[in-house]
Structure 1
Amino acid sequence: MNPRTTALIAPTELTDRLTGDPTPTLVDVRTPAEYETAHIPGSINIPLPLMTEHATALAAELDGPVVLVCQAGTRARTAHTPLAAAGAEQLSVLDGGVTAYTATGQPIRRGRARWALERQVRLVAGGLVATSILASLRFPRARFLAGGIGAGLATAAVTDTCAMGAALSRLPYNRGGRAVTLRDAVQALRSRRAAGSTPS
């Protein structure tokens, strides 16, 4: 498959595959905090920054069908590109992410409640725009901040990336109880392979 082509899998199709053979490996690329809040049982958390930085090493550990998961699908598609370029095969992305999967009534493992990264981006971007517009009543140049945020959001839509989201993902709030290292990720993938990728 062309590395630029992303295969999508619907939530209902994923449910069927999780009961079939071979069972796909689920890799959740959200932040550790988002993963702790709610994740598909049996999925492995490898945050997007770690995935993109070590795509070659991680691609070498992927065997058989792999489904990349995030909140809505954007970060999973972003992770797909470097993994496919590094030689990973049988990759697909959960269409609509955890949000769509939950909406179909599928089981989700829940923990401490936190805001999803996409929701945090909307809050910060909206807050900055509103604040800069109010500030521009006294300091006219403040309106340029609103313009900059708007340009950034437009760029994020066109490129399907988000610099603000990447920055927010590094905050302690989004790291969860313990950061995921490359060693953790490799060990989790090898353990899953040894166990036959059986969800738990």
Structure 2
Amino acid sequence: MNPPAALDTDQAHARLADLTVIDVRAPGEYASGHLPGAHNVPLDRLHHALPAIEEAAGQGEILVVCASGTRSENACRTLAGLGVTAATLTGGTSGWAARGHELHCPEGAARSAWAMERQVRLAAGALVMTGLALGLLHPAWQLLSAGVAGGLVFSALTNTCGMAVVLGKLPYNRPRTAAPDLDATLAALRQRRG
């Protein structure tokens, strides 16, 4: 499958008013700062949101964003397989902020969630170190480290990350402030241009 269309941060900034922006990060990441007007549809809820996304695509272009661009590329491929054309933001919200463009943070979002890639590195590293340390007590514990290594190889080969999906469901990746639930987000997405 061909790579999805991509907009760089300056192109997206210039066309932001004409784009429907869908942020596929976990709600906690989204609450820590997102593109103005972006709708939060976590990657693991993309299929549930498909009818609203199809409606939005019928009214204009869809831009899918995440922290670095990896998850948004996966989302664009998933959407393309379902008949919806969408572009990804090159460099994600990190690239957006690095170019000096505004990120919207809801009022009361005092904390900043770590980027999912950073959380995965911490969790994977901690599990490997735990497996190696416990392996000194009993060699069978080294299988924990081997399992994490195998998961990382699988993640790289498939460009997916099961650990990120699991971490995205943890409470600290949910915003502490009242955030709109997915149904409210989908209703807003349907009304975007209506």
The aligned residue for residue 141 of structure 2 is 142
2: distance between equivalents of 1:132 and 1:65? 47
Q: In the alignment, which residue of structure 2 is the partner of 1:122?
A: 121
Q: Tell me which amino acid in the other structure corresponds to 1:185.
A: T
Distance 2:171 2:2 in 1: 33
Deviations 1:81-133 (A, max 9, x none): 222222223x1000111111111111112333121221111111000001111
Identity %: 38
How is 1:38-57 mapped onto 2 (pairs within 5 angstroms)? Answer: 38-51=33-46, 53-54=47-48, 56-57=50-51
Per the TM alignment, residue 191 of structure 1 is displaced from its structure 2 partner at its CA by 2.3
Match in the other structure for 1:198: none
How far the C-alpha of 1:186 sits from its partner, in A, is 2.4
Contact 2:132–2:145 at 8 Å: present in 1 too? yes
Which secondary structure state, in structure 1, belongs to the residue aligned with residue 21 of structure 2? strand
Contact 2:41 2:49 in 1 (8 A): no
In structure 1, the partner of 2:101 is 106
- Distance of 2:6 and 2:114 partners within structure 1: 25
CA contact (8 A) 2:124 2:148 kept: yes
Alignment of 1:130-169 (within 5 A): 130-169=129-168
d(CA) in 1 for partners of 2:26, 2:188: 16
What secondary structure does 1:138 align onto? coil
Structure 2 match to 1:35: 30
Residue 162 and residue 29 in structure 1: after superposition, are their counterparts in 2 closer, same or farther (change >3 A)? same
Query: What are the equivalent positions in structure 2 for 1:69-108 lying under 5 Å apart?
Result: 69-89=65-85, 91-108=86-103
Given the superposition, is the C-alpha separation of residues 191 and 179 from structure 1 closer, same or farther in structure 2, using an over 3 Å criterion? closer
| More deviation, 183-192/126-135 | 183-192
Query: In 2 relative to 1, CA 14–28 (structure 1 residues): closer, same or farther, beyond 3 Å?
Result: same
Aligned CA RMSD, in angstroms, stands at 1.7
Tell me the residue number matched to 2:188.
188
1:179 deviates by 6.6
Change (3 A) 1:185 1:86: farther
Flag structure 1 segments of 5+ consecutive residues without an equivalent.
195-200
- Give the structure-2-normalised TM-score: 0.88
Specify which structure has the higher proportion of helix. Answer: 2
What are the superposed Cα offsets for residues 127-183 of structure 1, whole Å, 9 maximum, x if unpaired?
Answer: 0001111111111111111111011011111111000000111112112244732x2
State TM-score, norm by structure 1: 0.86
CA distance in 1, matches of 2:180, 2:142: 37
Which of the residues 14, 17, 25 maps onto 1:16? Answer: 14
Task: Say if 2:60 is the partner of 1:61.
Answer: no
Structure 2 CA distance for aligned equivalents of residues 151 and 74 of structure 1: 20
* Count of matched residue positions in the alignment of Structure 1 and Structure 2: 186
Letter in 1 for 2:73: R
